[in-house]
Structure 1
Amino acid sequence: MKHFLRLYSVIHALMALLFAGAGLALMVVAAHNGWMVVVGSIDTTAGEAIIEAMGLLAAAVVALQISQTITEEEVIRDAHISAPTRVRRFLSRFLVVIVVAIAVEALVATFKAREKPELMLHAAAVFSAVGLMLAGWGVFIHLNRSAEELEPEAMEEAKSEDRKLE
């Protein structure tokens, strides 16, 4: 059984590397697009192109954050997520970067809607999705804290593992 679980760690490590590679590729594309704005060889408005580059960078942050989380939780710690503390921390790490990435995409949509007003409804819907995600995340954290109070030892274990990674 230990060999089987070790295989999962290897697969998680491979997935983390692929996410990191995707993040780095997105960073290169964003840097290229930003440079094209600086040298003036891009057709769209400079502001829109920079905001789109920011959207790519936000997606890169998401990919790198996922890579880091998978590496820490599944490869280094070899932890199996079951305690409420772990679940909250694991999901919160993803949600913070995803909410930021979606908010940047909403900003990009708003800039595009300046030229095409029919896209304003799309931008408003994306901003609404950000608000709903934040509200849902808040409810999740609030409800999860109650469960954590039932298992204080899980919180102490998670904190001790954090110290081991530093």
Structure 2
Amino acid sequence: MSLKEQITEDMKTAMRAKDAERLGTIRLLLAALKQKEVDERIELDDVMVIAIVDKLVKQRKDSVTAFTEGGRQDLADKEASEIKVLETYLPKRMSAEEVAAEVKAIVVELGASGPGDMGKVMGTVKTRLAGRADMGQVSAAVKAALSGAA
């Protein structure tokens, strides 16, 4: 079963259970997936679905920060609950050590040295670690690996 099919089944389950909060979040996710398919006239595979879920999680995290700073804890809590639902569709996250090891291996594999090769390394890292690692953490690991290689 593809990830998209799993999300659709989870929506049906949430409907039957009358879990309005979960249902709303899943519907938002399905709408984002459908929008991508219509805009680009493609059929999404699991990698693309994970990228969209990751993007939605990042948006929600930014919103939580903004709402918390703005004194709107009620809205921050709503966004945080949506993050929990969305994260169930992401693969297990890698630890900082695993990310650093993977980045070092990619730097060696590409023969990258110095900050000038950051774009080349990030392009490869993004495709390999999509959805499995926080890209902010990945970027810091790439910078550290390239500054150590210089």
TM-score by length of 2: 0.31
Structure with the larger helix share: 1
Max Rg structure: 1
